[in-house]
Amino acid sequence: MARNKPLNAKEFADEIQAFADFGKETNILDFPDPAISIPVYVNEFWTSKQRAAHSLHEVSYRACFKPQLPRFFISRLTQPGDAVYDPFMGRGTTVLEAALLGRRPIGCDINPLSERLVRPRLYPPTWNEVETRLTALNLDKSSEVWDDLLVFYHPNTLRQIVNLRSYLLTRRQEGPLDPVDAWIQMVATNRLTGHSPGFFSVYTLPPNQAVSIESQKRINQKRAQVPPERDIKAIILRKTRSLLSKLQARELKTLTANTPLLVTGSSDNTSAIASASIQLAVTSPPFLDIVNYQADNWLRCWFNGIDAKAVAIWQLKKPADWQAAMTRTFRELHRILANGGFVAFEVGEVRNGKILLETIVVPSPMEAVLNPLMF
């Protein structure tokens, strides 16, 4: 629904209370912690029955939310040209959705892999450009390979992967990759391992997580499988066609009209982002130590020349440590939020429902002098 101007806090609360787009009325409950007095609004505010998300979002990543979530807030609380931010960028769902809606996309993530998954989709090349570049590459030349990776790949496939990796890392040493090479790197990273012939590997876990070499040996033995030979150029081109399938000319113009700011660093220290410059932040932080991003992304990091062990991703087992980290992040959000700006912070339950992260996180913005509006 097109709006003449963004909603203010009261207007947004009124709309949430009256929301019934999917045939359900909003229930208003008390916050689980009786010491905190904010309303809890319960409804189906976005649904999988809505129009499918844009094809550019189809990049696998652990613990990511649906594009409908950031769209819900972006469309109501901002206007075209406003800056929309995600301090835990991940695969870039908020950043990409903001760009598609004509907002200025700003994101931050401690893992350099995040920027390499996000930026290419803000400057997508054409399929023909990708095909021309791939055709020019000789990926079958002799090269040294890491034999341990043969549990995932046919020797000829691994040789292609190693040659593509070497080409991309050499180009990156010479300066930033151009949009075509950056796109190829992003797609190849997304196709490294998976559970169908659309990936470079033999059958393994879904593509948002890479098992260890020893675990893959067990999978191969259990399934009595050996890695088949794959044509990685053809796989990259098929995935490129899929990612670009819904991209219209007007959307491409909107994407490239904005100047994104993607920061590789910690969410509690973002000096590259100007004070009072963000209208809306939409994010979901790491849920304590539930997801081991380092272990899940070790193969993707290898392909991108990133030392996964050197990436200081928060793995905070103790709720008090997690709350302290969130408070530091909210203090930084307080600095960069414009007057009247909003934060949409998605959390859930962990430890089989024994810990409700909302009860832990809500005191953090309050300590950072932000006003919790609702949950």
Residue keyed to tokens 């700011």: 261
Token reading at 239:
């995935």
Contact, 152 vs 202, CB < 8 A?
yes
Integer Cα distance of 264 and 107 in angstroms:
9
What is the structure's pLDDT at 196? Answer: 92
Q: d(Cα 280, Cα 265) in Å, to the nearest integer? A: 19
CB atoms near residue 270 (< 10 Å) = 21
**Domain topology for 9-120+251-267+277-301+331-349:** Rossmann fold (3.40.50)
Helix (H) or strand (E) holding 338: strand 337-345
- Every domain of the chain and the residues it spans: 9-120+251-267+277-301+331-349, 127-243
Burial of 280 (0-12, 13-18, 19+ CB in 10 A): buried
pTM for this predicted structure: 0.93
Of the candidates 304, 264, 307, 92, which has an alpha carbon nearest to the alpha carbon of residue 181?
304
Burial of 170 (0-12, 13-18, 19+ CB in 10 A): exposed
Q: Are strands 337-345 and 278-283 parallel, antiparallel or unpaired?
A: parallel
One-letter amino acid of 263:
V
Determine contact, residues 289/314, Cβ cutoff 8 Å: no
CB 77 within 8 A of CB 6: yes
Residue with tokens 């890392």: 169
Contacts of 269 (CB under 8 A, 6+ apart): 332
Query: Per residue of the chain (375 residues), what is the pLDDT tens digit?
Result: 567 799 999 999 999 999 988 889 999 988 877 878 888 888 988 876 655 689 999 998 876 788 999 999 999 999 999 999 999 999 999 999 999 999 999 999 999 999 999 999 999 999 999 999 999 999 999 888 889 999 999 999 999 999 999 999 999 999 999 999 999 999 999 999 999 999 999 999 876 667 899 999 999 999 999 999 999 999 999 999 999 999 999 999 999 898 999 999 999 999 999 999 999 999 988 766 556 677 788 999 999 999 988 887 777 678 888 889 889 999 999 999 999 999 998 876 556 656 677 777 787 788 877 877 765
